[in-house]
């Protein structure tokens, strides 16, 4: 038979083999080099196990992690504590928002990547896994005319809920579409023109006039009257603001406002406050943080206040009926909601009682009917009003 070849330690009996090796070393009957050859290990490994046994006993023969005791890329504990504290204060903020907020408030600090911050949230138990859901793709075209501050304001009721005392809470929100600046967030008693107009009046006095105010098709923003006009829409036109309405059943056309409502719900009403007064305090605090502190991803992780400035169109509280140029024939709407036209009485709308409407003759002999910048329909030679499928602005410069 040939010479027996020494085999490396059997991994299933590692501790036993190491203990036998150390015992033979301590007995001193054989040199270290010969023992290492017999056990199939290097002399460096042999001396390491002998030193560990002398220092720590049998525990020294256990496997140890090869990971370094200090990680040069590890986030310092004081930064971890600050990151986690921001997340605890703003439980709906994700890693990117938290990182942007920290970078803005502590610009001299090298903050970890958003992915690392997300891992820190996981370790602290601050991440709630959400089920995946299919999402509707966003519309390809941006919101019309919302390229700069005050081009378009959006308005809507969030959707009512009950506060802790069981009473109904209806918050009205008003936002600048381009900058996402939250202009008003107030609890109202009723969804009516009498309740909504004072909120618009306050906003107009504080921030000036926008080009348009966009809403859905519900009361008090719209009605089933001609052109979808409501009393609130008439007031807007008399203030010098164009009322815009999204298409019925298309809330994505006001997607920025819908997203605001989701954040508002998460931050202030989950769960609701004990009563309406306490809930309004939450809304006020939310508006300050949302406008001045909370980073917004669509604004390059900066808050809306950095992008909003008041409108140069000053509002002094005066409402003026539209004026028309020489192309128009003007009729005032009677108390019955009708106008006299070519010997006929034509019903227009009771919403416009006392207001002037303008008529411009078209090439085919019909007459286009409008109220200020809003086209209401076309009157044919028999005195019938044909409503447009969707009211569109008329290309007029109104004072």
Can you give the pLDDT at residue 270?
92
Tokens linked to 87: 């997340």
Dihedral sign for Cα atoms in the order 241, 245, 251, 255? negative
CB 377 within 8 A of CB 388: yes
Judge residue 333's burial from the number of C-beta atoms within 10 Å of its C-beta, 0-12 exposed, 13-18 middle, 19 or more buried: buried
Torsion of CA 6, 9, 11, 14, to 10 degrees: 150
**Is residue 183 helix, strand or coil?**
strand
For 177-293, strand residue ranges (E) read 182-188, 212-215, 242-245
pLDDT of the residue at 66: 67
**What pLDDT, on a 0 to 100 scale, did the predictor assign at position 343?**
86
- pLDDT reported for residue 74: 78
Helix (H) or strand (E) holding 175, with range, is strand 168-176
Task: Please give the DSSP secondary-structure letter assigned to residue 314.
Answer: -
Residue 312 DSSP code: S
What does the chain come to in residues?
399
Ramachandran quadrant class, 311 (left: phi over 0; alpha: psi -120 to 50; beta: rest): beta
In degrees, to the nearest 5, what angle opens at C-alpha 363 toward C-alphas 362 and 368?
Answer: 10
Distance set, CA 117 to CA 39, 75, 97, 104, 124 (Å)? 48, 9, 10, 16, 11
Instruction: Go through 213-228 and write b for each residue having 16 or more CB atoms within 10 A of its CB, e for each that does not.
Output: bbbbbebbbbbebbbb
User: What CA–CA distance (Å, rounded) separates 180 from 77?
Assistant: 35
| Phi and psi based region of residue 16 (left: phi greater than 0; alpha: psi -120 to 50; beta: remaining) | alpha
Angle at alpha carbon of residue 22, lines to 16 and 27, rounded to 5°: 125
Q: What is the tens place of the pLDDT at every residue in 182-233?
A: 999 999 999 999 999 999 999 999 999 999 999 999 999 999 888 889 999 9
Domain 152-306 has CATH 3.40.190.10: no
State pTM to two decimals: 0.71
SS3 category, 243: strand
**Per-residue pLDDT at 105:** 87
Regions of the chain short of the pLDDT cut 70: 1-13, 66-73, 128-145, 389-399
- Run of H or E including 270: none
Nearest by Cα to 380 from 358, 349, 359, 395: 359
Strand partners for 156:
173
The 10s digit of each residue's pLDDT in 279-289 is 999 999 999 99
């Amino acid at each position: 038979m040939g010479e027996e070849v020494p085999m490396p330690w059997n991994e299933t009996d590692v501790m036993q083999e190491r203990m036998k090796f150390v015992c033979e070393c301590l007995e001193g009957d054989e040199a270290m080099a010969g023992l290492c050859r017999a056990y199939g290990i290097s002399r460096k490994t042999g001396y390491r196990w002998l030193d560990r046994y002398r220092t720590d006993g049998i525990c020294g023969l256990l496997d140890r992690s090869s990971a370094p005791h200090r990680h040069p890329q590890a986030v310092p504990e004081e930064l971890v504590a600050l990151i986690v504290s921001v997340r605890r204060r703003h439980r709906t903020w994700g890693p990117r928002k938290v990182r942007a907020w920290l970078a803005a408030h502590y610009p001299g600090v090298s903050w970890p990547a958003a992915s690392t911050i997300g891992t820190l949230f996981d370790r602290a138990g601050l991440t709630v896994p959400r089920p995946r859901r299919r999402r509707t793709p966003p519309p390809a075209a941006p919101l019309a005319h919302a390229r700069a501050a005050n081009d378009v304001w959006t308005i809507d009721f969030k959707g009512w809920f009950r506060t802790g005392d069981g009473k109904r809470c209806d918050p009205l929100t008003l936002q600048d579409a381009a900058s996402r600046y939250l202009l008003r967030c107030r609890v109202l008693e009723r969804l009516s023109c009498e309740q909504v107009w004072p909120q618009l009046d306050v906003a107009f006095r504080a921030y000036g006039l926008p080009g348009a105010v966009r809403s859905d098709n519900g009361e008090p923003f719209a009605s089933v009257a001609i052109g979808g006009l409501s009393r609130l829409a008439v007031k807007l036109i008399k203030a010098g603001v164009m009322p815009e309405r999204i298409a019925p059943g298309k809330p994505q056309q006001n997607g920025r406002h819908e997203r605001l409502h989701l954040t508002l719900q998460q931050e202030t009403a989950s769960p609701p406050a004990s009563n309406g007064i306490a809930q309004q305090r939450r809304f006020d605090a939310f508006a300050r943080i949302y406008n001045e502190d909370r980073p917004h991803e669509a604004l390059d992780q900066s808050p809306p206040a950095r992008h909003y400035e008041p409108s140069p169109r000053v509002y002094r509280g005066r409402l003026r009926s539209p004026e028309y140029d020489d192309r128009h024939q003007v009729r005032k709407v009677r108390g019955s909601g009708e106008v006299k036209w070519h010997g006929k009485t034509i019903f227009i709308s009771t919403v416009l009682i006392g207001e002037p409407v303008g008529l411009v003759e078209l090439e085919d002999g019909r007459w286009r009917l409008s109220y200020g910048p809003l086209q209401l329909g076309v009157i044919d030679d028999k005195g019938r009003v044909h409503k447009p499928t969707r009211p569109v602005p008329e290309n007029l410069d109104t004072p």
